[in-house]
Amino acid sequence: MERKKVLIYGFGEAGKQILKDSRGRIQVVGFLDDDPSLRGREYRGVKVLGGEEDIERVIGEYGVEEVIIAIPSAPLARIREIEKRLIRAGVRDIKILPTQFVGDERVYLRQVVELDPVELIGEEDFHVDIGNLRNFFRGRSVLVTGGAGFIGSRIVKHLLDLDVKRVISMDIDETRLFEQKDEYPSVEVFLGDVTSRFDLEQVFSRYDIDVVFHAAAYKHVPLLEDFPWKAVEVNVYGTKNVVEASRRHGVGKLVFISTDKAVNPAGIMGMSKRVAEEVVRRAGYISVRFVNVIGSRGSVVPLFIRQIESGRKITLTHEEASRYFMDVNKAVYLIFQSTLMGRGGEIFFLKPSRPIRIKDLAEKLIRLYGYEPYRDVDIEIVGLRKGEKLEEEIFENNGNLLHTEHPMIYAYRELDGLEEVLEAIRDRYGISVEI
């Protein structure tokens, strides 16, 4: 199979270690570096081909398909500058080494992550103690439901950097499981459905599981308005099945991946997640809510990018629609941090940056790709879809808000309003939910 042609930006220790760890899985054609004194230097037979001013020439000359920016200590502003130039040079596959690996003595190819154009939103830096996380997860067996999905697969990937004994990825999507096993051979994959108690009994009996991350869910807001019973079946009863299996098998930590759409929910997706949170809380486990994840399937960013690249106009639901966004890799590490802090029964939520007006985001993306909004790429307002809010909320006034030792993580011990949510599901969708 032909290997992807990759350029590494950064001739420091991180870049060299990524080359060393690649072991022929990719074809590294060269390095770029901002330091002119490094031009022509070599590591393992791979040369420094130039600096930022040489991006267009090197990409064209060597047929570069992917660029890894391996300068984890660089400020976000500098990463953005490089990213913009790469995109305008025709590179769409851009990856970075996240800041949490600055100073880490072990850097691997698998640690690089996608750099989404929505780094433009300017999220604040975050910090987690990788050493503490490794100490907690070392030697443990961890099950990730929905492990081949967008969120679950990132949880699986980052668990591999925390010295776990075993990661089990459970999913109903056999194709993605197969691809995941091919990419990460050390991951145990399990083809199964959280709505099947039989499947869950099989996975819990086969492995001695210490920690569960329950990410399996239906998440697409407008689609679930047409199939509300599926949201209840998977998000509520699937969660109940996972919780009950975890308790039967003595699992000490279970973390339910929830959403800000559970705050004063407007549609069945948020309602089903809010009910599932209560199932988890009553069992003494924890939930973690987070906001829209950058680049996830079904989110606005990939849709906008596809529309821009195909030459179509961008479709926008409302002139004033706004959302909170968070980078998926940041969210995963904050989920891990919440796992350490959880004593049982908390609903954690991750504090995002300021809300972003979707229209502003669309205009920034258009400009990032070298076009002018409304001249080269138009923006059409199409109206809010079923179950959507104009603005998302992250705080609730019907519970006791707790600050934690991490500045970006808050928690509730208990929340009111569950009966109202159950009543809304019954009245609006004709579904009675028993938990």
**Do 108 and 171 belong to one domain?**
no
Determine the structural domain holding residue 90 and report its residue range.
Answer: 5-115
Q: How far apart are CA 348 and CA 287, in angstroms?
A: 6
Q: Is residue 274 predicted with pLDDT exceeding 80?
A: yes
Among 49, 45, 47, 50, CA closest to 24: 45
Average pLDDT over the chain reads 85
Residue 160 has pLDDT above 80, yes or no: yes
Indicate if 225 and 188 belong to the same structural domain: yes
d(CA 140, CA 157): 15
Looking at residue 111, its pLDDT comes to 47
pLDDT per position as a tens digit, 1-49: 567 899 999 998 888 888 887 766 789 999 999 999 999 999 999 999 9
Average pLDDT over residues 74-100: 77
When mean pLDDT is compared across 70-74, 101-105, 121-125, the lowest value belongs to: 101-105
Max Cα distance, the chain (Å)? 70
Q: Based on the domain organization, do 58 and 144 belong to the same domain?
A: no
Rounded Cα–Cα distance for residues 208 and 341 (Å): 23
pLDDT at 77: 74
Q: What does 198-259 look like in DSSP terms, one character per residue?
A: HHHHHHHHHS---EEEE------HHHHHH-HHHHIIIIIIIHHHHHHHHHHTT-SEEEEEEE
CB 349 within 8 A of CB 291: no
Residue 389 has pLDDT above 80, yes or no: no
DSSP letter string over 244-268? HHHHHTT-SEEEEEEEGGGSS--SH
pLDDT bracket for residue 105 (50, 70, 90):
very low
Residue 85 shares a structural domain with residue 175? no
Highest mean pLDDT pick, 80-94, 102-116, 390-404: 80-94
Which residues contact residue 182 at a Cβ distance below 8 angstroms, ignoring those fewer than 6 apart?
none
- In this structure, the answer to whether residues 156 and 297 fall within a common structural domain is yes
Q: Which residue has the higher pLDDT, 326 or 195?
A: 195
Residue 376 lies in a domain: no
Which residues, including other chains, have CB under 8 Å from residue 164's CB and lie 6 or more apart?
Answer: 137, 138, 139, 140, 141, 142
Indicate if 71 and 211 belong to the same structural domain.
Answer: no
Per cent of the chain over pLDDT 70 is 86
Q: Lowest mean pLDDT: which of 57-66, 190-199, 394-403?
A: 394-403
Residue in the block written with tokens 């138009």: 378
Burial string for 391-410 (b: 16+ CB within 10 Å, else e) reads: ebbbebeeeeeeeeebebbb
Of 115, 145, 174, the last residue of a domain is 115
104 and 165 co-located in one domain: no
- pLDDT average, residue stretch 164-190: 96
For residue 367, being part of any structural domain is answered with: no
Please tell me the predicted confidence (pLDDT) of residue 228.
Answer: 97
CA distances from 246 to 202, 276, 290 (A): 12, 15, 23
What is the rounded end-to-end Cα distance, in angstroms, of the chain? 51
Is residue 156 located within the same domain as residue 289? Answer: yes
The verdict on 53 and 90 lying in the same domain is yes
Q: What is the CATH number of the domain that holds 15?
A: 3.40.50.720
pLDDT value for 158: 92
380 within a domain of the structure (yes/no) = no
Q: What percentage of the chain carries pLDDT values higher than 90? A: 49
Q: Residue 435 domain-assigned?
A: no
Residue 3's nearest CA partner among 141, 109, 159 is 109
Kindly state the average pLDDT of the residues 127-151: 92
Residue 9 located in a structural domain: yes
**pLDDT over 70 (residue 225):** yes
Residue 110 has pLDDT above 60, yes or no: no
- Residue 381 included in any domain: no
Please give the pLDDT value at position 406: 85
Q: In the numeric block, which tokens belong to residue 378? A: 């138009």
Mean pLDDT of 306-316: 78
What is the distance between the alpha carbons of residues 8 and 47, in angstroms, rounded to a whole number? 10
Domain-located, residue 62: yes
Span 139-152, average pLDDT:
96
* Pick from 190-194, 319-323, 398-402: least confident: 398-402
Domain count, the chain: 2
For residue 185, give the 3-state DSSP assignment: coil
Place of tokens 């407008």: 222
8 Å CB contact between 280 and 254: yes
* Pair (289, 352) in one structural domain: yes
- Is residue 374 domain-resident? no
pTM of the model: 0.72
Confidence of residue 100 (pLDDT cuts 50, 70, 90): very low
Which of 115, 150, 172 lies at the terminal end of a domain, its last residue? 115
Q: Cα(147)–Cα(170) distance, rounded to whole angstroms? A: 5
- CA-to-CA dists, residue 4 to 32, 181, 308, angstroms: 17, 19, 25
Q: Are residues 406 and 322 in the same domain?
A: yes
- Tell whether 193 and 331 lie within a shared domain: yes
What average pLDDT does this structure show over 377-392? 75
Q: How many of the other CB atoms lie within 10 Å of CB of 168? A: 21
Model confidence at 294: pLDDT above 70: no
